[in-house]
Amino acid sequence: MNKPKSASKPTTARKIIAENRKARFNFEILDTLEAGLVLAGTEVKSLRRNQSNIAESYASFENGEFWLINSYIPEYLEANRFNHEPRRHRKLLINKREMSRLAQSVDREGMTIVPLKLYFNDRGRAKLEIAVARGKKLHDKRETEKQRDWNREKSRLLRDRG
């Protein structure tokens, strides 16, 4: 007797390579978007070793395309002379409609496009989660820190109480 297969949701297995943790502190995140990356073979091999840094990188709109600037993917040591440049500009693969919406928000409203996470999706493709963000002022950062401290203290009090 065959049992019917359960209708389970497909799992979204993400292998996170790099995360920009400072972005949520330094910027007010307004909208997020998943973008693909144009990578060389040695870059993918280096990413599979979890070696990357996107903390100081940003996305820029140049010549009708979005580019990831100042991201660091180290050279793949076994590739000898066929290696890539560690800090080269990498093209982002974004839908045309999304690209025009992002370009308008950057031009008109003075927003910034910052990367949040670099990961491999369930199909093994390298993806970058980018966000349209507005820079926080110093007093906003202090308010965020106060709120974080209060939440930490509140959870400590509740844990000790019960």
Q: What's residue 152's pLDDT?
A: 92
pTM of this prediction? 0.74
Q: Quote the number of domains for the chain.
A: 1
Does 75 reside within a domain? yes
The token pair that represents 44 in the structure block: 């993918």
Does 7 reside within a domain? no
pLDDT < 70 regions, the chain: 1-13
DSSP structure class, residue 32? E
Does 92 reside within a domain? yes
Helix residue ranges per DSSP H, 35-137: 41-48, 96-109
Does 145 reside within a domain? no
pLDDT digits (tens, 9 = 90+) for 143-162: 888 988 999 998 998 988 87
- The range of the structural domain enclosing residue 109 comes to 15-136
Q: What's residue 12's pLDDT?
A: 60
Q: What's residue 16's pLDDT?
A: 86
Does 52 reside within a domain? yes
Q: What is the CATH number of the domain that holds 51?
A: 2.40.280.10
Q: What's residue 151's pLDDT?
A: 92
